[in-house]
């Protein structure tokens, strides 16, 4: 209450929502247990995202507006050039996060299903927890952008199979980055 300068009830309500979302578990009279960002959480999260977004990538490749795909490609290439020219993580972090959200959000939105959108938001929260221990670096950001471009270029070519395959590769590589393999 003192930290946020809020009454007790709104904080309790917020804590219940976060517990429902699986971010932590409240133990009566003994405290809060936060979600542990371990190997199993990372593997499960990326496996589930891959199942949902692979299908969405196929639909996006078939139905997305060409102008939207072209704009996403242009925005990715602009950031890629900045990073290759030596831009710092600090100066590009917000732009990278925005591209991440637009890229994955656009793909998910191609499946107009509120249940999928709700699940994708929850998975996004899990990814945020998992990434807390991951240090962003220009090489990692560059690899991510290139993987996004592979998906987007397959979508622009209207090749659903290639888009799904590129997205699967992106999630496998992202999981490897999180695990410190790459």
If asked whether residues 93 and 14 sit together in one domain, one would say no
Encode pLDDT of 126-147 as tens digits: 888 888 877 889 999 999 999 9
If asked whether residues 128 and 153 sit together in one domain, one would say yes
If asked whether residues 56 and 145 sit together in one domain, one would say yes
Across residues 19-33, what is the average pLDDT?
A: 77
Q: Are 164 and 57 in contact (CB under 8 A)?
A: yes
Beta strands in the chain (DSSP E): 24-27, 31-34
User: What six digits make up the tokens of 51?
Assistant: 């199942």
Q: What is the pTM of this model?
A: 0.82
If asked whether residues 14 and 67 sit together in one domain, one would say no
pLDDT at 181: 57
State which residues form the domain around 148. Answer: 39-178
Q: Looking at the 3D structure of the chain, how many domains does it have?
A: 2
If asked whether residues 49 and 138 sit together in one domain, one would say yes
If asked whether residues 11 and 62 sit together in one domain, one would say no
- Report the CATH number that the domain containing residue 108 is assigned in CATH: 1.20.120.530
If asked whether residues 94 and 13 sit together in one domain, one would say no
């Amino acid at each position: 209450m003192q930290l946020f300068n809020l009454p007790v009830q709104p904080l309790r309500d917020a804590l219940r929502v976060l517990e429902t979302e699986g971010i932590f578990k409240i133990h009566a009279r003994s405290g809060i247990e936060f979600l542990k960002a371990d190997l199993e959480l990372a593997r499960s999260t990326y496996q589930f995202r891959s199942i949902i977004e692979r299908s969405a990538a196929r639909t996006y490749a078939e139905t997305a507006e060409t102008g939207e795909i072209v704009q996403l490609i242009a925005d990715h290439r602009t950031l890629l050039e900045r990073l290759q020219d030596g831009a710092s993580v600090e100066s590009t972090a917000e732009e990278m996060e925005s591209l991440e959200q637009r890229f994955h959000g656009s793909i998910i939105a191609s499946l107009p299903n509120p249940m999928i959108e709700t699940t994708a938001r929850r998975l996004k929260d899990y990814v945020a927890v998992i990434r807390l221990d991951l240090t962003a670096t220009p090489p990692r950001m560059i690899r991510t952008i290139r993987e996004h471009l592979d998906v987007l270029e397959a979508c622009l070519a209207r090749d659903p199979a290639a888009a799904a395959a590129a997205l699967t590769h992106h999630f496998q590589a992202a999981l490897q980055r999180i695990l410190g393999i790459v």
